[in-house]
Chain A
Amino acid sequence: QDDEGPSYSRNGADTCLACHGEDEAVITVFRTPHGVPTDPRSPFGQGQLQCEACHGPGGDHAGRVRRGQERPAMPHFATGSAASVAEDNAMCLGCHAGSAGAQWHDSAHDFDEVGCADCHDVHAVHDPVQATATQPGVCFDCHKAQRAQVLKPFAHPIADGKMDCAGCHAPHGEQTAGLLARQTLNDTCFGCHAEKRGPYLWEHAPVVEDCSNCHEPHGSNHPGMLTRRGPLLCQSCHSQAGHPSVAYRDTGLADGSASQFLLGQNCLNCHSQVHGSNHPSGSRLMR
Chain B
Amino acid sequence: RAQAVDTSDWNCEFCPFPDGYEADVAIGATSISDDSARLGNATGYDESGAYANVDGQGLYAGESIRLTWMAEDLGLDSRRLAIEGGRPGSFGFRLDWSELPYRLFNTTQTVYDSVGNDTLVLPSGWVPAARTQNMPGLAAALTPIDIASDRQAFGVGVDVEAVSDFDFYADFRRQQRDGIRIMGGSAFFQAALLPRVIDYETDLVDAGIRYASGPFSVSVAWFGSFFTNNAGSLTWDNPFPGFRQGRHALEPDNDFQQLSVSGTYHAGALNTVVAFTAANGRGEQDANLLPYTIDSGIVAPGLPRATADAEVDTTNLALSITSRPFPKARVRLNYRYDERDNGTPQAMWQRVVVDSVLAPGSDANIPYSYERSVLALDASYRLFDGVRIAGGYERRDIDRDFQEVAEQAEDTGYGQLWWQPTPALELRLKGGTARREPERYDEAFAVLNGQNPLLRKYHLAYRYREFAEAMLAFAPTELPVSASLMAYWADDSYSRSELGLLAGDSLTLAGDLSWAASERVSLYLHVSEEGIDAEQAGSTLFAAPNWTARHDDDYTAIGAGVRIRDIGAKFDVTFDYSSASGESEIIVDGPGAGPSEFPELESQYDDLRLTLSYRSSPRLAWTLEVRYQLFETEDWALEGLAPATARSLLSLGAAPWDEDVLAVGLGIRYRIGSAAEE
Residues of A within 8 A of B (CB): 1-2, 8, 10-14, 17-18, 21, 27, 30-31, 33, 35-42, 44-45, 47-50, 53, 79, 86, 94, 97-99, 102-103, 105-106, 110-111, 125-126, 131, 133, 144-145, 147-149, 151-153, 157, 159-160, 162, 175-177, 182-184, 187, 190-192, 194-203, 205-206, 208-210, 213, 221-223, 228-229, 232, 235-241, 245-251, 253-255, 258-260, 262-266, 268-273, 275, 277-284, 286-287
Give bound CA distance, A251 to B598, whole Å: 9
Interface string of B443-478 (1 = CB under 8 A from A): 000000011101101110000000000000000010
- Report 14 cross-chain contacts, Cβ distance below 8 Å, ordered by A residue: A110-B322, A131-B70, A153-B631, A183-B316, A184-B314, A228-B551, A238-B451, A247-B549, A248-B588, A258-B641, A263-B645, A264-B193, A275-B251, A287-B246
| B184 touches which of A17, A195, A271 (Cβ 8 Å) | A271
| B649 touches which of A191, A208, A221, A269 (Cβ 8 Å) | A269
A239 adjacent to B539 (CB under 8 Å)? yes
Shortest A41–chain B CB gap in Å is 5
A250 adjacent to B14 (CB under 8 Å)? no
- Residues in B with CB closer than 8 Å to A86 are 324
| A239 touches which of B310, B338, B538 (Cβ 8 Å) | B538
Most buried by B among A18, A151, A246: A151
| A49 touches which of B7, B252, B588, B597 (Cβ 8 Å) | B7
Flag whether B488 is at the interface (Cβ < 8 A): yes
- Top 4 closest pairs, chain A to chain B, by CB: A98-B212, A12-B10, A148-B528, A39-B88
Flag whether B611 is at the interface (Cβ < 8 A): no
- Which A residue sits closest to B363, measured CB to CB? A283
Stretch at the interface among B46-54, B121-129, B283-291, B565-573: B283-291
Q: A259-B646, A269-B184 are in contact. Are A183 and B248 (CB under 8 A)?
A: no
B275 adjacent to A245 (CB under 8 Å)? no
Q: A11-B11, A236-B536 are in contact. Are A97 and B452 (CB under 8 A)?
A: no
Shortest B121–chain A CB gap in Å is 19
| A272 touches which of B248, B528, B557 (Cβ 8 Å) | B248
B285 adjacent to A199 (CB under 8 Å)? yes
A106 adjacent to B15 (CB under 8 Å)? no
- Which A residue sits closest to B214, measured CB to CB? A97
- Residues in B with CB closer than 8 Å to A145 are 486, 488, 508, 510, 528, 530
Question: Interface on chain B toward A: helix, strand, loop, or mixed SS?
Answer: strand
Give bound CA distance, A223 to B57, whole Å: 36
A239 adjacent to B455 (CB under 8 Å)? yes
Most buried by A among B17, B190, B637: B637
- Which A residue sits closest to B452, measured CB to CB? A239
Give bound CA distance, A8 to B225, whole Å: 51
Q: A38-B63, A98-B212, A265-B182 are in contact. Are A228 and B582 (CB under 8 A)?
A: no
A148 adjacent to B510 (CB under 8 Å)? yes
Most buried by B among A50, A133, A265, A281: A281
- Which A residue sits closest to B193, measured CB to CB? A264
Give bound CA distance, A258 to B87, whole Å: 65
A152 adjacent to B555 (CB under 8 Å)? yes
B637 adjacent to A264 (CB under 8 Å)? yes
Within 8 A of A (CB), among B570-623: 578, 580, 582-584, 586, 588, 590-591, 593, 596-599, 601, 603, 605
A175 adjacent to B10 (CB under 8 Å)? no
Give bound CA distance, A17 to B583, whole Å: 56
Within 8 A of A (CB), among B515-561: 526, 528, 530, 534, 536, 538-540, 542, 546-547, 549, 551, 553, 555, 557, 559
Q: A151-B605, A183-B314, A249-B596 are in contact. Are A31 and B528 (CB under 8 A)?
A: no
Give bound CA distance, A182 to B539, whole Å: 40
- Residues in A with CB closer than 8 Å to B340 are 208-209
- Residues in B with CB closer than 8 Å to A50 are 7, 10, 12, 15
Interface bracket on B:
35 or more
Give bound CA distance, A144 to B320, whole Å: 29
Shortest B206–chain A CB gap in Å is 10
Shortest B174–chain A CB gap in Å is 11
- Which A residue sits closest to B640, measured CB to CB? A254
- Residues in A with CB closer than 8 Å to B598 are 250, 253
Flag whether B332 is at the interface (Cβ < 8 A): yes
B636 adjacent to A254 (CB under 8 Å)? yes
- Residues in A with CB closer than 8 Å to B324 are 86
Flag whether B441 is at the interface (Cβ < 8 A): no
- Which A residue sits closest to B582, measured CB to CB? A221
Give bound CA distance, A238 to B352, whole Å: 22
Shortest B353–chain A CB gap in Å is 7
Shortest B163–chain A CB gap in Å is 13
- Residues in B with CB closer than 8 Å to A38 are 63-64, 87-89
Q: A239-B455, A258-B641 are in contact. Are A33 and B66 (CB under 8 A)?
A: yes
Q: A194-B254, A239-B452, A283-B349 are in contact. Are A11 and B370 (CB under 8 A)?
A: no
Flag whether B204 is at the interface (Cβ < 8 A): yes
A44 adjacent to B542 (CB under 8 Å)? no
Give bound CA distance, A2 to B656, whole Å: 71
- Residues in B with CB closer than 8 Å to A239 are 451-452, 454-455, 499-500, 538-539, 542
- Residues in A with CB closer than 8 Å to B400 are 205, 209
A286 adjacent to B582 (CB under 8 Å)? no
Taking A102-B210, A110-B322, A198-B312 as given, write out 10 further A-B residue pairs in contact, using a Cβ cutoff of 8 Å, ordered by the A residue number: A12-B12, A148-B557, A152-B603, A153-B580, A160-B41, A183-B281, A205-B366, A208-B368, A221-B582, A263-B645
| B601 touches which of A147, A183, A192, A221 (Cβ 8 Å) | A221
- Residues in B with CB closer than 8 Å to A12 are 7, 9-12
Shortest A266–chain B CB gap in Å is 7
- Residues in B with CB closer than 8 Å to A8 are 5
Stretch at the interface among B27-35, B137-145, B256-264, B660-668: B256-264
- Residues in A with CB closer than 8 Å to B657 are 153
Give bound CA distance, A21 to B13, whole Å: 11
B596 adjacent to A241 (CB under 8 Å)? no
